[in-house]
């Protein structure tokens, strides 16, 4: 998940960012981005929609998916300010004003104005000027941006200009993420009020990011967001991979599975919690509440969830993986995570 996010930012989005220097994002970008997220994070349909993916850094995720609209505006403002600077710059405001004048007064033919309207709408000068007005309308003048870069010379200011612009105009994703999490949390019967679950998630996951490797955090996020490819997720009947005769192939069951609990206790020293609701809350990192005192337990619970998820993935793709092989694989995976994190 982390590697795919970085690859998207470095290889795919860099091309989009180059094109966005002079052109506006397409009106259908939201649909394209949703399709890209489905390919970037394989799994059940729309388990990781763009509104949630953009909020991943708020959960401590070490990589982020850039916002195309913010990058596009920042790139245009950089072009306005720095392109051809040694020759006096592009004089965007002056030339855009002249272009608007030409559009309005150069011809009296409504037919000709209608024919050329799409060209004027997409004219590079007008888009650059619109970006300039967007920033300056918010009080983000060149002097303010230069201060935000915290650079001491013009060369470094120029290199950090676009990054500072993106940071200043990037939308606040916390409301979208919290709304998404409320929907996902309503899926889990953890015996906790919704607001308590949300607060615990928002405090526990950034702590896990500091305590565990990125793959453990990614597995816990996928678990919380119901992103496992289980039988229940795809509305089909399937039995527990670890050999429970009464258990099905679902996240709820693996949080409560006695075979999983036995392996977790043996390899990580985590005792089985008293009630199914508590066991599910612990699997989702919502129990116990995150604090300095519970940090060691929180780390082990994140490793346990990661180990079960990775073993489940292996079992789905293995040529032959009976219950005994799955239990052995789980113990090995937990031992590897505990020793390597």
Per residue in 107-151, pLDDT tens? 666 667 777 777 777 888 999 999 999 999 999 999 999 999 998
78-82, 225-229, 315-319, 323-327: lowest mean pLDDT where? 315-319
Residues 6+ apart with CB under 8 A from 336: none
**Residues 89-103: tens digit of each pLDDT:** 899 999 999 888 877
- Rounded to a whole number of angstroms, the distance between the first and last alpha carbons of the chain is 17
Q: What is the pTM of this model?
A: 0.88
The mean pLDDT of the chain is 91
**Residues 34-55: tens digit of each pLDDT:** 988 889 999 998 899 998 999 9
Phi-psi label, residue 230: left if phi above 0, alpha if psi -120 to 50, beta otherwise: beta
Residues 6+ apart with CB under 8 A from 55: 173, 174, 176, 177, 180
Please give the Cα distance from 193 to 189 (Å, whole number). Answer: 10
């Amino acid at each position: 998940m982390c590697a795919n996010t970085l690859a998207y930012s470095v290889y795919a989005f860099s091309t989009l960012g180059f094109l966005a220097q002079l052109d506006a994002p397409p009106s259908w970008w939201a649909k394209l981005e949703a399709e890209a997220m489905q390919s970037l994070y394989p799994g059940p349909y729309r388990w990781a929609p763009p509104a949630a993916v953009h909020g991943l850094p708020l959960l401590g995720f070490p990589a982020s998916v850039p916002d195309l609209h913010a990058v596009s505006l920042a790139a245009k403002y950089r072009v306005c300010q720095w392109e051809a600077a040694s020759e006096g710059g592009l004089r965007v405001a002056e030339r855009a004003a002249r272009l608007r004048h030409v559009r309005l007064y150069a011809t009296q033919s409504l037919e000709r104005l209608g024919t050329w309207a799409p060209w004027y709408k997409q004219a590079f000068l007008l888009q650059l000027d619109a970006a300039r007005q967007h920033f300056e309308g918010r009080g983000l003048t060149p002097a303010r941006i230069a201060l935000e870069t915290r650079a001491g010379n013009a060369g470094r200011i120029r290199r950090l200009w676009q990054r500072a612009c993106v940071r200043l105009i990037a939308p606040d994703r916390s409301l979208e993420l919290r709304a998404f999490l409320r929907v996902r949390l309503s899926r889990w019967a953890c015996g906790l009020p919704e607001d308590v679950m949300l607060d615990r998630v928002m405090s526990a996951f950034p702590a896990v990011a500091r305590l565990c490797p990125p793959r453990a955090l990614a597995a816990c996020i996928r678990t919380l967001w119901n992103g496992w490819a289980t039988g229940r997720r795809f509305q089909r009947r399937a039995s527990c991979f670890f050999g429970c005769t009464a258990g099905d192939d679902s996240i709820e069951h693996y949080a409560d599975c006695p075979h999983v609990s036995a392996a977790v206790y043996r390899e990580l020293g985590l005792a089985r919690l008293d009630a199914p609701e508590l066991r599910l809350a612990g699997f989702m990192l919502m129990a116990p509440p995150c604090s300095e005192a519970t940090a060691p337990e929180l780390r082990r619970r994140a490793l346990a969830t990661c180990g079960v998820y990775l073993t489940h993935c292996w079992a789905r793709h293995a040529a032959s993986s009976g219950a005994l092989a799955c239990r052995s694989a789980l113990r090995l995976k937990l031992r590897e995570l505990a020793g390597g994190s």
